Chains A and B, each alone.
Chain A
């Protein structure tokens, strides 16, 4: 099996021909438009569309533009949801484990964050799900709205330090409100090196929350 290049009147037609030739379905290939067509008058001066269709199993990781693909998926979702916004693609972290981040900017985006970030979480979940199904491997794309996550994480770190101080001075443990895994992780990491408290996740599913407890010298809860 190998990649094929096909020219036809429309992108759709070219892809259909390529898929028939490969005997594969749309979800098993990557399509790259090599030349955009041009519709001429009565077929005069028109140019055909040329596409390159590659079976996914032939793609190595470097060949797949995961960021571009994720940006496209998010733009489609926003457009279909009736939200006018622009998406900026960025990378965070070192080269070894760079995280793809998509930041949404536009007007009136409070609706996109939703109650306790619920809408934003759904968007991120669906983008990752669609990309993972397409690539047949897991991806971890972060979707943010105008730096909302960044600000939320910063306020969680502040909360963690304040609560840890309180536990230390009163000697009584504190339980925070329930949070998604990504937010609990921020708090665990923030207090990981504290000599006075330890953190534990308690509860199940969506009710899972963090408890901050005093610790002894061995790092065991008191």
Chain B
């Protein structure tokens, strides 16, 4: 699941070397925290959140295959707020 998000993010940002995905255990599965270069944040969210939504859809399929749950959080570097 981590590899899936890493692959997608690295394929669409300008600075793939700054893509970091951290897997954090949660109550009923895992939370994947995706961090990219500040100027790449928009590239992984997309217009009206479309890219983030597509990543979450595939992540859900991946989690179902593994019999678990996963949520994706995109970390905004500048504000530390989750989007």
Please report A residues at the B interface, Cβ cutoff 8 Å. 26-27, 73, 76-77, 80-83, 111-112, 114, 118-119, 121-123, 125-126, 129-130, 133-134, 205
User: Could you jot down 26 A-B contacts, CB within 8 Å?
Assistant: A26-B16, A27-B16, A73-B11, A80-B3, A80-B4, A81-B4, A81-B58, A82-B61, A82-B62, A82-B65, A111-B61, A111-B64, A111-B65, A112-B61, A114-B61, A118-B57, A119-B57, A122-B54, A122-B57, A123-B58, A126-B8, A126-B51, A126-B54, A126-B55, A133-B11, A134-B11
How many A-B contacts at CB < 8 Å in the complex?
Answer: 59
Greatest chain A CB density within 10 A among B3, B11, B48 is at B11
Asked if A119 and B61 make an inter-chain contact with CB atoms under 8 angstroms apart, the answer reads yes
Q: How far is the CA of A73 from the CA of B48 in the complex (A)?
A: 24
Picked from B7, B64, B65, the residue with its CB within 8 Å of the CB of A77 is B7
Chain B interface, DSSP helix/strand/loop, else mixed: helix
Asked if B54 and A80 make an inter-chain contact with CB atoms under 8 angstroms apart, the answer reads no
Interface magnitude class on chain B: 20 to 34
Q: How far is the CB of B14 from chain A (nearest CB, A)?
A: 7
Please report B residues at the A interface, Cβ cutoff 8 Å. 3-4, 7-8, 11-12, 14, 16, 48, 50-51, 53-55, 57-58, 61-62, 64-66
Minimal Cβ-Cβ distance residue in B for A129: B12
Which residues of the partner chain B approach A122 to less than 8 Å between Cβ atoms?
A: 53-55, 57-58
Q: How far is the CA of A125 from the CA of B7 in the complex (A)?
A: 15
Q: Report if A133-B62 is in contact (Cβ < 8 Å); known contacts: A114-B57, A122-B57.
A: no
Which residues of the partner chain B approach A82 to less than 8 Å between Cβ atoms?
A: 61-62, 65-66
